[in-house]
Amino acid sequence: MKTLLTFLTLLAFVTPSFVLRADDGQKSANLRAILVSASPKGGETDRRLAPYEATLRRILRFESFRHLGEGRATLAFPGEASLSLGQGHSLALESENAKGGLRVQVSWTEGGRSLMRTGLVLRPGVPAVLGGPPQGKDGEVLAVIVIAE
């Protein structure tokens, strides 16, 4: 179970709304990513995570969630972007055109150490959840929510 939770990648397949940049006509998507601590113990979930709590509970099967940090980036496609989530965590994103959406390769690092590399197909407003490594004690794990806005 610990191994499963450590590098669990449960994705809600989501295709962002694309905007045309006026300067060069290139398509892009605005992305938001949130770093979360998930705990198997009951407790109050951070109010900032209320819109995602049901999704987090369903996918991660934990009881409470804390907001640890977040970042935003505009990702052109094809193109690359990176964002800092706080606490030494960051995401590097590489996009490519795909039928019906935006395919994104995501590399999640902490202090330069690779935690995960995976692919997503993003759709607007639907969160994709990346389950990550254990954090500290008491069975808590890290997770990242990625939302195309």
Distance CA 96, CA 68 (A): 29
Specify burial of residue 34 (Cβ count, 10 A radius: 0-12, 13-18, 19+). buried
pLDDT of residue 99: 66
Compute the half-sphere exposure of residue 25: CA atoms within 13 Å on the CB side of its CA. 0
Q: What is the pLDDT along the chain (149 residues), one digit of tens a residue?
A: 333 233 233 333 333 334 433 344 458 889 999 999 999 998 899 999 999 999 999 999 999 999 999 999 999 988 999 999 999 999 999 997 666 667 899 999 999 999 999 999 888 888 999 999 998 778 999 999 999 98
Tally of domains in the chain: 1
Q: Which tokens belong to 111?
A: 């202090």
pLDDT of residue 149: 84
DSSP code string of 10-32:
-----BPPPEE-TTT--EEEEEE
Structural domain including 46 reads 2-148
Pairing of strands 27-39, 19-20: antiparallel
Question: End-to-end alpha-carbon separation of the chain, Å?
Answer: 33
